[in-house]
Amino acid sequence: MEAVTRVSSTARAAGIVTVVVVALLGSAYVLGRSLVPDQAQQHATGVTTEGDGPHYADQPAEKPSTDTPADTPAGTPTGIPTTGQSAGPSEAGQDGSGQDTSGGGLFGAHTSTGSGRVALTFDDGPDPRYTPQVLAALREYDVKATFCVVGENAQDHPDLIQAIVADGHTLCNHSWHHDVSLGNRSADQIRADLVRTNEAIRAAVPDAPIVWYRQPGGAWTHPVVSVCTGLGMTPLHWSVDPSDWQAPGASKIATTVLTQARPGGVVLMHDAGGDRQGTVDALRKILPELSARFELEALPTNPT
């Protein structure tokens, strides 16, 4: 009887030890998984890398940003403009807080061509699938546009940068890696990003002027505007946004552009950063009608 009791106690102890070991192993596994980043998770820069190239989260903010960078003076407004006229020179019309008072965008970002002409702008490229199609459509209707290019894409596809310039379009710096939060970084970090992008562009087209800068997501801050103007670039926003980055379909993209376009308008579209076939197809509907209503222009390479 005593031997049976000893065996029972030993078995019970072994069972308890087994449960504890299993529990410890389970906890270690959960802790280890929490320390490994999910590879499918979107990076903080707003970019996910998939097999067919970079996809950018280019959704413009619907409300002004409440984040104030560390080196922004107290009381300086942040956020993005959605309407308005040309801001003129980067310092003109500002009241000292960064707010443009001449009818333009926040921090002097241009939301108008400053004339009766309309400007079509294409962001996030170049992309080997969609940029050539956009160029072909523009060529067919003899329309010049402005391409806001991402540095990493310019570096990967210099031939497309060359094709854009060869067709007479204007180039615009759109940051190196489409970092929506770039404006909240230090001035040195912002400058390094913009300079790196310009260098990638000029590696393909050494003499091409780069006088425009568009902040990803339209997330303008005083530091990013200060740096871009210090580098000789003018901040460029928009007045018409069909949200083609959401791929709503060619018909909806075309309808939005055609109903919202006004003299002096700057139209935001995308030739990269995701599936842009809807934008390409929409252009076939947009270009004939818009060309009949307005003079379409590439933004000038010597803005005043």
* Cβ atoms 237, 90 nearer than 8 A: no
Q: Is the pLDDT of residue 291 over 80?
A: yes
Query: Is residue 244 a part of any domain in this protein?
Result: yes
- Most confident option among 45-49, 91-95, 229-233: 229-233
Query: Is residue 32 a part of any domain in this protein?
Result: no
| pLDDT confidence of residue 11 | 53
| pLDDT confidence of residue 60 | 43
The CATH number of the domain where 277 resides is what? 3.20.20.370
Residue 123 known to be catalytic: yes
Percent of the chain with pLDDT over 70: 65
Query: Is residue 6 a part of any domain in this protein?
Result: no
What element of type H or E holds 268?
strand 266-270
* Cβ atoms 225, 187 nearer than 8 A: no
| Tokens coding 117 | 């002409």
Backbone angles phi, psi at 172, to 5 degrees: -140, 135
Number of domains in the chain: 1
pLDDT tens readout for residues 145-174: 999 999 999 999 999 999 999 999 999 999
Q: What is the pTM of this model?
A: 0.71
Query: Is residue 202 a part of any domain in this protein?
Result: yes
pLDDT band of residue 206 (cuts 50, 70, 90) is very high
Query: Is residue 13 a part of any domain in this protein?
Result: no
Q: What is the mean pLDDT of residues 193-201?
A: 98
Q: Is the pLDDT of residue 192 over 60?
A: yes
Residue 177 known to be catalytic: no
Mean pLDDT of the chain: 78
Q: What is the mean pLDDT of residues 222-235?
A: 97
Q: Identify the domain containing residue 150 by its residue range.
A: 47-297
| pLDDT confidence of residue 217 | 95
DSSP 170-229: EEEE--SS--TTGGGS-HHHHHHHHHHHHHHHHHH-TT--EEEE--GGG---HHHHHHHH
| pLDDT confidence of residue 107 | 84
Q: Is the pLDDT of residue 89 over 70?
A: no
Query: Is residue 39 a part of any domain in this protein?
Result: no
* Identified catalytic residue from 55, 169, 222, 270: 270
Query: Is residue 26 a part of any domain in this protein?
Result: no
151: amino acid identity, one letter: G
| pLDDT confidence of residue 49 | 35
* Identified catalytic residue from 58, 123, 127, 244: 123
pLDDT band of residue 108 (cuts 50, 70, 90) is confident
* Cβ atoms 281, 252 nearer than 8 A: no
Query: Is residue 8 a part of any domain in this protein?
Result: no
